[in-house]
């Protein structure tokens, strides 16, 4: 990272203590040098609202030269950064004079250091502080399918080192993992020429994961939701963006991200609902509950606790997204208008779905607790029955009565 932007972050440590330990992708499980993999693309809008051919950058020096180029007409540009390599952070941060918290908020996933996953934390913020920022940083969860299925709960992304949660369903590890991801958005308007610039920061797509601290690759991702923005597939972006972009409104770019994040949340809700239904189906219409051993019931109860924790985390993150987007947490009274209220309804409906799923998890937890009581009583009854059995035939024969 260049000295000028690095020195700026050092001078701002008193205002943001997180900058004292600023290290891009500081998770404990990341391999050395993996966070240096970054790329970027640049999109420019023509006066007729069409999009020029995207320009891809894999070199920070080439990106820096592109940002410094002179132009005699209003610039309406969209920049997409994948990954947080220091030289790319310096290129964008130094050119746009970005506050280091733009990149820091994208890097940190948890409020406090997470010892089990090794992820570095930041600090919790008041709602008024979150809404006063010039950028937003949306945390979401991305379901992925891995082949072969993971063999442990502790897994990391090969690129970023971020933790990937694995679910156990009815005693077997699911091939579906849930990755913590983030996308961030910043924009500014140029009053001099009516132009504007937007910066989108997204995580690299998860292609491989590791299940220990070595550099050994253990699994590869087969299927997942479309990443928030994928620079490698930039040839498809113009057709996707053209219908939602407004030449005079840079916030229309953010609307595109909002829809994709809402789609990720919808996919996660569907996956969690199906997982809950699998367990409920196995518990229903059973004539003989003796097939559920005590150890299996205890294991299922433990899994339900992890689902409950994950659902609570999803609700917290969804509410944080709604606060940043100024979306009310409750449905408004009356019909929903087209536009901003329609987008708000997407997140309000998702929050209601996660609340309902959380309620179903609570009911399932009670059912598993009841099953544990039934299994325990059966085992206690069998133990007492064994102790009360009469002596077997091999016991000493009774003495003959006296004549």
Residue 80, classed as helix, strand or coil, is: strand
Q: What is the DSSP letter of 391?
A: P
Closest CA to 303 of 172, 117, 144, 116: 172
> Torsions phi, psi of 110, nearest 5?
-125, 155
Residue 100 counted as domain residue: no
Closest CA to 229 of 195, 189, 263: 263
Residue 281 counted as domain residue: yes
Domain count, the chain: 1
Q: What is the CATH number of the domain that holds 332?
A: 1.20.58
Closest CA to 169 of 333, 306, 55: 306
- For residue 229, count CB atoms less than 10 angstroms from its CB and return exposed for 0-12, middle for 13-18, buried for 19 or more: buried
Residue 277 counted as domain residue: yes
- pLDDT surpasses 90 at 186: yes
- For residue 55, count CB atoms less than 10 angstroms from its CB and return exposed for 0-12, middle for 13-18, buried for 19 or more: middle
Question: CA 330, CA 46: separation in Å to the nearest integer?
Answer: 39
Residue 65 counted as domain residue: no
Q: H-helix or E-strand containing 209?
A: strand 208-210
In 123-207, the DSSP E strands lie at 135-147, 156-157, 164-169, 172-190, 195-202
Instruction: Provide the whole-model pTM.
Output: 0.80
Question: CA 170, CA 188: separation in Å to the nearest integer?
Answer: 50
Residue 42 counted as domain residue: no
Which of 48-62, 222-236, 311-325 bottoms out in mean pLDDT, i.e. has the lowest? 222-236
Identify the pLDDT of residue 99.
86
Q: Averaged over 222-230, what is the pLDDT? A: 47
Handedness of CA 364, 369, 375, 381 (dihedral sign): negative
CA dihedral 28, 29, 34, 36 (to 10 degrees): -30
Tell me the residue range of the domain where 308 lies.
Answer: 249-386
Confidence of residue 295 (pLDDT cuts 50, 70, 90): confident
Q: What is the DSSP letter of 284?
A: S
Question: CA 19, CA 10: separation in Å to the nearest integer?
Answer: 7
Which of 29-33, 121-125, 255-259 bottoms out in mean pLDDT, i.e. has the lowest? 29-33
Residue 269 counted as domain residue: yes
Question: CA 14, CA 17: separation in Å to the nearest integer?
Answer: 6
Residue 266 counted as domain residue: yes
Q: What percent of the chain has pLDDT over 90?
A: 14
Identify the pLDDT of residue 268.
92
Q: Averaged over 234-249, what is the pLDDT? A: 64
- For residue 36, count CB atoms less than 10 angstroms from its CB and return exposed for 0-12, middle for 13-18, buried for 19 or more: middle
Query: Does 148 sit behind a cis peptide bond, omega within 30 degrees of 0 on the bond before it?
Result: yes
Residue 77 counted as domain residue: no
Strand partners, 165: 178
Confidence of residue 352 (pLDDT cuts 50, 70, 90): very high
């Amino acid at each position: 990272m260049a000295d000028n932007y690095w020195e700026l972050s050092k001078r701002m440590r008193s205002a943001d203590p997180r900058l004292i330990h600023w290290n891009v992708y500081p998770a404990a499980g990341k391999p050395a040098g993996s966070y240096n993999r970054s790329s970027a693309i640049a999109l420019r809008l023509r006066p007729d609202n069409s999009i020029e051919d995207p320009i891809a950058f894999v070199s920070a020096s080439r990106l820096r030269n592109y940002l410094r180029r002179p132009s005699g007409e209003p610039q309406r540009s969209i920049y997409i950064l994948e990954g947080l390599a220091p030289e790319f952070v310096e290129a964008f941060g130094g050119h746009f004079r970005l506050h280091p918290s733009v990149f820091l908020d994208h890097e940190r996933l948890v409020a406090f250091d997470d010892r089990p996953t090794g992820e570095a934390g930041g600090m919790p913020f008041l709602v008024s502080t979150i809404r006063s920022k010039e950028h937003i940083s949306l945390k979401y969860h991305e379901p992925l399918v891995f082949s072969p299925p993971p063999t442990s709960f502790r897994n990391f992304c090969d690129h970023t080192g971020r933790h990937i949660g694995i679910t156990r369903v009815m005693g077997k590890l699911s091939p579906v993992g849930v990755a913590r991801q983030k996308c961030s958005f910043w924009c500014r308007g140029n009053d001099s020429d009516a132009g504007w610039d937007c910066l989108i920061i997204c995580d690299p797509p998860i292609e491989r994961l590791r299940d220990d601290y070595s550099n050994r690759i253990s699994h590869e991702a087969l299927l997942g939701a479309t990443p928030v923005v994928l620079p490698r597939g930039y040839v498809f972006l113009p057709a996707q963006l053209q219908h939602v972009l407004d030449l005079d409104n840079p916030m229309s770019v953010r609307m595109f991200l909002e829809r994709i994040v809402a789609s990720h949340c919808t996919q996660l809700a569907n996956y969690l609902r199906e997982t809950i239904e699998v367990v409920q189906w196995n518990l229903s219409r059973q004539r003989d509950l003796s097939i559920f051993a005590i150890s299996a019931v205890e294991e299922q109860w433990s899994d339900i606790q992890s689902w409950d924790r994950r659902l609570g985390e999803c609700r917290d993150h969804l509410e944080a997204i709604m606060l940043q987007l100024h979306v009310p947490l409750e449905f408004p009274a009356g019909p929903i208008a087209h536009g901003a209220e329609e987008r708000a309804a997407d997140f309000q409906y998702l929050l209601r779905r996660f609340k309902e799923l959380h309620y179903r998890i609570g009911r399932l937890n009670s059912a598993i607790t009841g099953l544990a009581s039934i299994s325990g009583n059966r085992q206690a009854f069998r133990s007492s029955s064994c102790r009360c059995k009469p002596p077997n035939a091999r016991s000493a024969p009774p003495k003959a009565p006296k004549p």
